[in-house]
Amino acid sequence: MVLIQVADGSGHPVSDGLVDGALDYETALAGASAELPEDLAAGWSGDDLNLCYTGGTTGMPKGAMWRQEDFLIAALGVRRRDGNEYSSMQELVADARGTVRALPAPPLMHGAAHWNASVVLGGRGTVVIQDHPAHFDAVDVLDAAERHGATSLLVVGDPMARPLVDELERSPRSLPRLRHILSGGAVLSAETKGRLQSLLEDVTIVDVLGSTESGRQAVGTTRPGQVPGDRFVPADTSVVLSEDLDEVLAPQDHAVGWLAQSGRVPLGYLNDPLKSAATFPVIGSTRYAVPGDRARWGADGSIELLGRDSACINTGGEKVFAEEVETALKTHPAVWDAVVCGRPSDRWGSEVVAVVSLRRDRAAGGDPDDDELRSAAAAHLASYKLPKAIIRVEEVVRAPSGKADYRWARAMAECPPPPSPPLAN
C-alpha cells in the first residue's frame, strides 16, 4: 500500500504532519514515470478495492468498500452499448471512442463528479475543469463549457442548475456541442428541467438516481421536446423493499418502502460492521444495498422517489419528506433556495420548518410574506406538509458539492437569526 499526503491549503508545511511512510503528493508526482512497473500491472485484480466515502450530510461520513469490477459496472455504469457487460478489459479499451468532453461542475471530492470524470477518462474522453473549482460559480462553469466545447455538463440538482439557468437567461452562451446535462445528488425539479429545455433546445437531460452505497439505480431522461417529469426508470437490479425490510415489493404494490439495489453492491463500510449490516441486509439469499431513500412503485412501473429517510419529518403522525417541501417552495419566483427540516413541537411532536433565501433582485418575485410562500407551496402539497414556520436567511448553507446541510438548517430552525429589516421602497 502507498500512502500519499496532499497539502490542504492550511499553510502548515506538509513535512510537519507527514504520516509515517507517506509520500508528499507533489514530490511523488515529480518523480513518477509514465510507464507502470510490470509487476504492478500484473497484480491488478477485479477484487482490488475502491474506497468511496459518503458526504456525511446527515451523519458521519462512511467509507463504502467497492470491488473494482463491481464499481466499474454498477457505479460507473460501464457497459457495452447493447447494455451487456464487457467480457474483458481489452474489449472495453477497443470500444472507447474518445468523443466526450465532460465538465463535472461539483468538486471532484463529490462522488458524482469523480465518477463522471472516471467514466470519461476510461472512454478516452476529455474532462474539462472550470477555472475556479474551489467553489461553484455559474459564470465560470458556463464560460468553461463554451470555451472548451463541452458535450456534457454534470450538476447537483436544483442548487447548481437554477443558478446556471439564471445566468443563461441573463447572458446566453453559444454551446453548440452540448448534448447532455446530467444531474445527481439532489432534486432536479420539473420546473428547472423545463427552463433548461427552453434555453438549450437540443440538450437531453439525464437525472441519475443513485448513491455511494448503491451506484446507479434509476434514470429519468427528458429528451428535446418531451414534457419534464419526476419519475425514474429503474435498473434491472433496483427494487423497492417493504417498510420492515423483510420482502421485495412487487411493481403492483404501491406501498411506501425503501429503494434498494441488488447485484453488484459494496462489500460494506470500512471498519463498521454494525452500519454495514444495517445498510446491506440479506433477504432470502440476496444481499441488498439500502442507502436510506424512501420510494414506491409508480403505476407505470417507474420509481417515485420520496426522499431521504434521515431528512423525513414525522409531524402529527404523518411523514413529510423535506425534499418535496423544498421543491414546492422554490416554485415561487422570489425563492432562490430552501432547506426544510423538523424542530420539536409540543403540539405536533415535530413541526415542519423552512429556511429560505430570497433572490437579491426581487423585481420578478417581489418580497413575499409567509402566507404567499405557503400559498405557492400549497399548489403542490397537502396542507399538513406546509411549513409551520419560515425563516429567512441571506444565504442557505450548502456543502461545496451542492448538497443541503440539514444540521445547519436544524440549528437555524431551533435558534433563528433576528429578522432582516424590510426592503426600502
Query: Are 70-305 and 316-414 the same fold in CATH?
Result: no
Categorize the per-residue pLDDT at 9 as very low, low, confident or very high, splitting at 50, 70 and 90. Answer: confident
Instruction: Inform me whether the pLDDT recorded for 421 exceeds 80.
Output: no
Q: Which stretches of 263-404 are DSSP H helices?
A: 273-279, 322-329, 370-378
Q: What is the mean pLDDT of residues 402-418?
A: 90
- The confidence score (pLDDT) of residue 41 equals 81
Cell 410562500 belongs to residue: 373
Chain centroid to Cα 216, Å, comes to 11
- Edge-to-edge strand ranges of the sheet holding 49-53: 49-53, 63-67, 268-269
Which residues are CB-contacts of 410 (< 8 A; sequence separation ≥ 6)?
Answer: 341, 342, 343
Q: What is the mean pLDDT of residues 43-49?
A: 92
250-273 pLDDT, tens digit per residue, is 999 999 999 999 999 999 999 999
- The confidence score (pLDDT) of residue 204 equals 98
Closest-CA residue to 289 (of 183, 236, 208, 212): 212
The rounded mean pLDDT for the chain is 91
Q: What is the mean pLDDT of residues 158-181?
A: 96
- The confidence score (pLDDT) of residue 88 equals 87
- The confidence score (pLDDT) of residue 1 equals 72
- The confidence score (pLDDT) of residue 210 equals 93
Domain positions in the chain: 70-305, 316-414
Q: What's the predicted TM-score (pTM) here?
A: 0.86
CATH architecture assigned to 316-414: 2-Layer Sandwich (3.30)
Categorize the per-residue pLDDT at 136 as very low, low, confident or very high, splitting at 50, 70 and 90. Answer: very high
Over its C-alpha atoms, the chain yields an Rg (Å, rounded) of: 23
380-407 pLDDT, tens digit per residue, is 999 999 999 999 999 999 987 888 999 9
- The confidence score (pLDDT) of residue 121 equals 94
Q: What is the mean pLDDT of residues 32-45?
A: 86
Q: Are residues 64 and 55 in contact, defined by beta-carbon separation less than 8 angstroms?
A: no
Q: Which one of 3.20.20.80, 3.30.428.10, 3.40.50.12780, 3.40.50.300 gives the CATH number of domain 70-305? A: 3.40.50.12780
